[in-house]
């Protein structure tokens, strides 16, 4: 599982020369929203969600194969580890809640899964591009986005046949028509950037790999569209340079650290990726005339939370809640949930902080439930974070 996966980055950072600012466009659509999400009419009435991604949205895919996440993962909401690398709910869980849908079962999870309202193809450590398994003892998931698409394709083709057998299958699989009316969500790309560094590429080389990464991403969106998918909700990637696992493993010069303590070259690479992602989304809207594609600026929301932590009721924005030691409470060989044998007894060494609800970063890599909730609240109440400016509940509407 995640703790055993060595995603360490042994590399020196090369200066970045180009800084591309993230552009969010606003179509000026005025939508009346109340603070109470339950009062918003679910205009689209999405009957299902199909999600593609990495650990930011994995609800049990990786752990279905490699073993359950360690405690204290899951402690805040579920009371036990439930396949999420978080103390509680993820952004995708809050998205499902706000659409009135159940939490998504992981496609790979054979125990207790219920796909009547969607499936989650995300696995922790997933990249968009396939990883070279010869050299990747790297900790990246073998379930890259192309594999997630293959899983989705099989599920789409075969679930209706099985559903028609009736009985329990009728209750566990999506109804006919759900695939077209569903919301297709994507949150992936972060690991493609770190994978480049893992191969000792320079920042310029990592940036040079991004167009191919983006093209591979677009291929999957086109594939889902070809199967009848129409509503897409695409998250950009967060500020990589503000995460403890990155800060811990790069040797940063003073000039590479911004006023908030984040690694600016890494944030610039994230922004570079995001600007190309937004460009391809624009292209996809032209190429896929029946699709509604919403681009969600997760980067700006997460950066706002980290850089204005106190104002929003959070503390220690760059320090992991669950972990042990070092400036960021993160030790790559002793990640959240790590134990030690002391006097013949196994004791939890890398444990949770006292108050995860006041913290942003959970384990040095992932966000806390409190942060995830805050992030979704921003999306729900400020439609300027989405392009087009549209609430989640209306993301089936074609505005561009
Ligand atoms: C994977 O990496 C190994 C070792 O560097 C290399 O020999 C091989 O050609 C690579 N395979 C692919 C498909 O790139
Ligand atoms: C599957 O989930 C749906 C929706 O939550 C529920 O109505 C149904 O009873 C569940 N089926 C089983 C067998 O648990
Ligand atoms: C990257 O560099 C490190 C340190 O020099 C080295 O140990 C590692 O094998 C290199 N990785 C690759 C994939 O070349
Ligand atoms: C991280 O944990 C390992 C294993 O316990 C330990 O040897 C090492 O000193 C720790 N590193 C730091 C910076 O504390």
Question: Who wins on pLDDT, 23 or 332?
Answer: 332
Q: What is the DSSP string of 155-167?
A: HHHHHHHHHTT-T
Percent of the chain at pLDDT above 90?
84
DSSP state of 323: B
Q: What is the CA(171)–ligand 2 centre distance, in A?
A: 6
Beta bridge partners of 323: 351
H/E segment holding residue 293: strand 292-296
pLDDT tens digits, 338-365: 999 999 999 999 999 999 999 999 999 9
DSSP character string of 134-145: TT--S---S--H
* Residue in 304, 334, 381 with CA at minimum distance from that of residue 37: 381
CA dihedral sign of residues 391, 268, 310, 246: positive
**CB proximity list for 11: less than 8 A, separation 6 or greater:** 197, 198, 200, 249, 250
Q: Which residues have CB under 8 Å from 220's CB, separation 6+? A: 52, 145, 146, 148, 149
At residue 131 the predicted structure's pLDDT band, cuts being 50, 70 and 90, is: confident
Please report which ligand is nearest the Cα atom of 335.
4
Rounded Cα distance, 354 and 6, in Å:
27
Query: Which stretch of DSSP H or E encloses residue 233?
Result: strand 231-235
- CA of 132, closest atom in ligand 1: 1
- 329-343 pLDDT, tens digit per residue, is 999 999 999 999 999
User: What atom of ligand 3 comes closest to residue 200's alpha carbon?
Assistant: 1
Pocket test for ligand 3, best of 6, 7, 10 (most atoms within 8 A of CB): 10
Q: Average of pLDDT values for 181-202?
A: 95
- Domain layout of the chain by residue ranges: 44-313+366-394
Ligand 4 within 6 A of CB of 100: no
63 alpha carbon – ligand 1 mean position (Å): 27
Tell me which residues are annotated as active site. Answer: 55, 363, 366
Question: Which of the two residues, 396 and 14, has the higher pLDDT score?
Answer: 396
The two tokens of residue 227 are 């199967």
Q: Which residue has the tokens 């593609």?
A: 52
Task: State the average pLDDT over residues 221-243.
Answer: 98
Please tell me the pTM assigned to this model: 0.89
Range 273-278 average pLDDT: 98
Average pLDDT (237-261) is 96
Mention the CATH class of domain 44-313+366-394: alpha beta
CB of 398 closer than 8 Å to CB of 47? no
């Amino acid at each position: 599982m995640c703790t055993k996966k060595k995603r360490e980055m042994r590399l020196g950072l090369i200066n970045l020369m180009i800084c591309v600012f993230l552009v969010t466009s606003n179509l000026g659509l005025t939508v009346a929203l109340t603070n109470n999400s339950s009062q918003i009419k679910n205009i689209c009435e999405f009957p299902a969600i199909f999600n593609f991604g990495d650990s930011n949205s994995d609800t049990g895919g990786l752990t279905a194969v490699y073993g359950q996440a360690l405690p204290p993962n899951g402690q805040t909401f579920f009371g036990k580890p439930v396949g999420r690398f978080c103390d509680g709910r993820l952004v995708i869980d809050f998205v499902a809640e706000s659409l009135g849908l159940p939490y998504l079962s992981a496609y790979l999870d054979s125990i207790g899964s219920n796909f009547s309202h969607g499936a989650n193809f995300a696995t922790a450590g997933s990249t968009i591009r396939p990883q070279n398994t010869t050299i990747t003892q790297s900790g990246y998931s073998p379930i890259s986005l192309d594999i997630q698409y293959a899983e989705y394709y099989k599920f789409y083709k075969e679930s209706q046949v099985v559903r028609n057998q009736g009985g329990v299958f009728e209750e566990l699989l999506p109804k006919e028509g759900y695939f077209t009316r569903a919301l297709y969500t994507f949150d992936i790309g972060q690991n493609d950037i770190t994978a480049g560094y893992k191969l000792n590429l320079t920042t310029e080389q990592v940036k040079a790999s991004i167009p191919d990464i983006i093209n591979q991403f677009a291929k999957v969106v086109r594939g889902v569209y070809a199967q009848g998918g129409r509503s897409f909700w695409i998250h950009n990637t967060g500020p990589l340079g503000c995460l403890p696992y990155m800060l811990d493993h790069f040797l940063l010069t003073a000039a590479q650290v911004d006023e908030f303590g984040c690694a600016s070259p890494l944030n610039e690479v994230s922004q570079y990726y995001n600007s190309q992602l937004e460009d391809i989304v624009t292209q996809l809207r032209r190429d896929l005339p029946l699709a509604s594609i919403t681009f969600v600026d997760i980067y700006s929301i997460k950066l706002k939370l980290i850089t204005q932590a106190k104002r929003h009721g959070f503390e220690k924005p760059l320090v992991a809640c669950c972990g042990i030691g070092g400036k960021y409470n993160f030790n790559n060989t002793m990640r959240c949930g790590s134990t030690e044998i002391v006097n013949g007894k196994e004791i939890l060494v890398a444990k949770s902080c006292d108050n995860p609800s006041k913290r942003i970063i959970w384990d040095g890599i992932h966000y806390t439930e409190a942060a995830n909730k805050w992030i979704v609240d921003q999306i729900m109440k400020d439609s300027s974070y989405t392009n087009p400016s549209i609430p989640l509940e209306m993301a089936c509407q074609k505005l561009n």
